[in-house]
Structure 1
């Protein structure tokens, strides 16, 4: 029976990784059959070549899988992989015919996994462990090569770009400090020249591990992390706060931040062993080391690392706090198009902008939740456009934007317990597995009504900060449950704002350098009656009315498909980088699909007049494709816009146990649901969502509910 290299628990069958940590380790596969691969594991592979439908990846000689383009988080032609490149992929499964289905991995370096193992057929072992009788057992004084790339390959020419095998006779003048120069932050232990005897080295290994990184060079002066990109190859000292820790198959990697940025610091004791176990997230530290560049990322190879205490620790934290205060609060708010209603909400928007900027500076992940609608996507994309450059500036890692910013669309515009449970599960896993800070949640176009109270309260149990920005509907009760709430309705601002328009101005406050990129977004977020100020602003940015309509329709269509995915690169192409062909093509599909459904629905609408109110009733179960585009709310919006005549008109789409209401008057959906509940007491009629006018009921009382809703709406006019 073996033990897990991550948590140490016993593993049946002599394995080296427990079930709960399968996805935390990168595997080098040395088997000869696809059947030996384990689904859900991440494997190192080599790019074999491209096809129209994806990329072929060699996991071992004769074992090749397909990474289909649908599994990528970007366009196929935007990949910068070349044949022969080392990459990491996840095995989704192996088919009966031996074909291997692969999935994309955000992690593309050894150091981003918590460990590295070699899977030799059906067995697994650490890279430095002997995997053949002909290999000599290394002496205890000779440290195994810490670079997992070296140990994982049988041919250095085929798989290793920059490895250097540790030399047990290499001298470490004047110090037993840890150092190294291998790829992905995998350092090698330099043995003292006078300490070549294996038994002596074994006796002293424990004390070396404890003291090697405690000897600072008194001659060095502190440099700022933000300047390290200009100091490659130099020996430096940094003071900062630990914002993250992860254990790889080689070194322990500490993410350390100061008032100017964040950098990875690699500290090595022996492969897979936690260096400085007493150093935790939030500690103030001083580090002497060498600045290296690994695959384009700046990294510090630690020679000495000590915990700071007392006045020195306080000085570090004071500098960070002062920098946060100075950098996080924007100088002011300049609403797009000079919108006066947005200006009235300046205090709340600046608070929201400060929270986002502070999260970036604190290396706190940001999670954005928004409805899977055109307005929701515009709002989410605006924040994304503003925040990602700040993350890139703050972090030396090239893929930091994928770790510190996540946008998760919501199928329903309510932040319910399902969404909150999903978020809580993810954030707790990231905290426990990867030592990540708990995230800041930004809810745009959702989370502002009491229907979201249970979900938000679940987050609050863990002390998670939540910021809510909603231009359409909100309840005052929400203000007591979130840290910041921006809402025209609650703040008494009379405005014809969309959430996309409001959040675009918020995004410009977060990062004024992207302001020009955001000017057309408010116009895209309106389906009708777009304010002239935003029409003019979009036109000035080069987007006429036809182009704006194409963007809106294209985003609405793509929002529906894979609604739970952010589709970051596709949305970026549509909203910011498209020359016209992509949006026009997708928009054409939108119109064709919508016209087909509207035609079918219109033929089956039942009209009736009750107390002077004209009703259009549609059986959405019988006369719509409920599980294809367009979604019911969007279809009813379009029907209502086309057919509503006069001030007393209502469109009702009723299904098995839910209905959607659209009216020409300002009718309270909650009041309608409450009245209908009195008229049909056995139906359990409740409001499910104010934004989309959604009401739920018991399916067995559908006929009674339809009559009750019609009566309640007529009374409300």
Structure 2
């Protein structure tokens, strides 16, 4: 007969039934049926499949952690083969298959004890000296919070004998001040003294010295005090984890009430607090074991706020911006680039999530990835959590070319849900290759209703949403800049070490006539002109397939792998791009109707009838390529693609798409013509008026291009 290592209840083994799930077990058996359903086991990642993760539990048994059991996307899981993980056994099937579930606790420190599940009987780890005294067992248990240790010690140690009552106040005073009793272990642990005992160590019992998060490494094993703002709270199966930011960084602080119960429920994200505890090493980082956590009074909060704001402003400022290269299209936007970089840096420092939305085009993807590549290292530096980069940064392509109400509603719904369920701050929304035209106004205004900060990086010169965003990197006039050239310069301001890694990206974003300066940057980074072309085409193909996903790892493999790997992967995907596009252009060429109006050649393609509309290439990309292909044969050219209820236009001469829409609408008033998108020259109309709208568009486009 033994006692439960958690509560001391007599048991046959090492843990009682009610505390079985508080223990991390190591499996010493060799057959699946020897596992105990419901227990949490330490395991090793064996491999990955589309449907989940295989985990070795012990030396001879492997189970499946199905993707439906994960609390994150499988592709976002920060596990590698061989990693130690913790899983719960939920079932053992007759054929020996072992079903596993996700454990929110992913370190021994988050469990309240350890044990070995041996077919011959549970036992404690053989390499630990395990005292028989319950008080010592509780005190030596690493993960056990201080409050639990105190309770166990006080229960197991004999009560000190009461001091004889003094005969007078003088005698009492003499006994207390001239011959102090040594401080009891219980008093020291609790930070106070029992009646009649004066603390011999005022540093341990009184308020400890305030340190900064930056100085925690010099205070391991010491009682300390930090002051700052709570930036995140998460509940594990054991302690509550508070992330507290001061003027130098973020500290992870563990507070324990009881397993899975929220400690300090009165403390919320955003509160200014004073926290006292002991700095301890936790595997690859540091953690403060919380002794007390108090929300600051108004006077103290004002001092801390001023300290945090001053430090934040200095830390977030990107300094003097050095552009990637001498680019006359970007140089006038140097101050805007600095402002955007500072806004992104500040969001990271404040532990605000960043939601980055971009178009599902090569330029949109590459520009978004440039920002992502700079932001993720900053997030890793700020947070110890292994999943921090997925928690604080979300990059998603848009369904269309604008940030419309559908996209904004989706983002607002998600951010409000995260705030309600997880106490998450409202994010910084970064719109890349979108957001500058009037078509995005409604979506941006919805963000404004919730006071969500907005930032736009876009090469579309019509900055019609200027008054709706806090920061914008948008050219004043049409220029040769791509969104990627703007975003890459912002990224270099966000995180200087990213400069060299992303220097080849601007060249990738140009379909033709890339500036020589950017080609030289790419060449210096090891990407010749042929490789740059292959990267662009490969990203364009992947941007089409499953365009609703960010494809972080795949895009990274395409754009940032080693030279040989880049050529192999990018060349393979690029070949598919070129074959599909060339085949489609060859197919549609025989169906192009070329007309001449006022000295302008208008090439018309019925995209509804003569293209494979639901396969690659998409209509916009096909018209871009077709227009480039036809320009060699015509001095002034307008290319129009018309389907059931929409047309797209390309022109060698600048055409105001809104004016085009207004004039066509005047000629066919019953067609309900509207400008559906400036970036791709799109007009929408009623299906029944397709032919009339098409004819009017040909005439008006020729007039505007003449």
With the length of structure 2 as denominator, give the TM-score of the two structures. 0.78
Q: Cα distance, 1:370 vs. partner?
A: 0.8
* SS of residue paired to 1:406: strand
Unaligned runs of 5+ in 1: 1-26, 38-42, 92-96, 113-144, 198-207
Q: Cα distance, 1:650 vs. partner?
A: 1.2
* SS of residue paired to 2:303: helix
Cα distance in 2 between the residues matched to 1:588 and 1:632: 20
Q: How many pairs does the alignment contain?
A: 625
Are residue 567 (structure 1) and residue 551 (structure 2) matched?
yes
Tell me: CA distance 1:616–1:187, structure 2 relative to 1, closer, same or farther (3 Å).
farther
Cα distance in 1 between the residues matched to 2:130 and 2:316: 45
> 372, 382, 390: which is aligned to 1:402?
390
> 673, 677, 688: which is aligned to 1:689?
677
Q: Cα distance, 1:355 vs. partner?
A: 0.7
Are residue 242 (structure 1) and residue 226 (structure 2) matched?
no
Any conservation in 2 of the 1:669–1:693 contact (CA below 8 Å)? Answer: yes
Indicate the larger mover: 706-715 or 632-641. Answer: 706-715
Q: Pick the structure with greater CA Rg.
A: 2
> 134, 142, 154: which is aligned to 1:194?
154
With the length of structure 1 as denominator, give the TM-score of the two structures. 0.77
Any conservation in 2 of the 1:673–1:687 contact (CA below 8 Å)? Answer: yes
- Output aligned runs, 1:19-168, within 5 Å: 46=43, 49-50=46-47, 55-57=53-55, 64=64, 72-73=74-75, 79-82=79-82, 85-86=84-85, 109-110=104-105, 147=111
Are residue 181 (structure 1) and residue 183 (structure 2) matched?
no
Cα distance in 1 between the residues matched to 2:311 and 2:380: 18
Tell me: CA distance 1:496–1:62, structure 2 relative to 1, closer, same or farther (3 Å).
closer
Cα distance in 1 between the residues matched to 2:130 and 2:276: 23
Cα distance in 2 between the residues matched to 1:166 and 1:413: 67
Instruction: Please report the RMSD computed on the Cα atoms of aligned residues, expressed in angstroms.
Output: 4.4
Deviation track 1:568-613 (CA, whole Å, cap 9, x = no partner) reads: 1222222122322221221122112212222222232222223322
2:518 aligned residue? 534
Tell me: CA distance 1:214–1:654, structure 2 relative to 1, closer, same or farther (3 Å).
farther
- Output aligned runs, 1:665-676, within 5 Å: 665-676=653-664
Tell me: CA distance 1:179–1:560, structure 2 relative to 1, closer, same or farther (3 Å).
farther
* SS of residue paired to 2:455: strand
Cα distance in 2 between the residues matched to 1:636 and 1:292: 61
Any conservation in 1 of the 2:436–2:460 contact (CA below 8 Å)? Answer: no
> 128, 132, 135: which is aligned to 1:170?
135
2:617 aligned residue? 630
1:270 aligned residue? 258
> 391, 397, 401: which is aligned to 2:379?
391
1:348 aligned residue? 336
Any conservation in 2 of the 1:74–1:570 contact (CA below 8 Å)? Answer: no
Q: Cα distance, 1:493 vs. partner?
A: 4.6
Q: Cα distance, 1:247 vs. partner?
A: 2.5
Q: Cα distance, 1:152 vs. partner?
A: 13
Are residue 649 (structure 1) and residue 637 (structure 2) matched?
yes
Tell me: CA distance 1:443–1:169, structure 2 relative to 1, closer, same or farther (3 Å).
same
* SS of residue paired to 1:408: strand
1:299 aligned residue? 287
Deviation track 1:526-555 (CA, whole Å, cap 9, x = no partner) reads: 111212222222222222211110111111
Q: Cα distance, 1:166 vs. partner?
A: 13
Unaligned runs of 5+ in 2: 1-23, 26-31, 158-185, 194-203
Are residue 582 (structure 1) and residue 580 (structure 2) matched?
no
Any conservation in 2 of the 1:297–1:397 contact (CA below 8 Å)? Answer: no
1:18 aligned residue? none
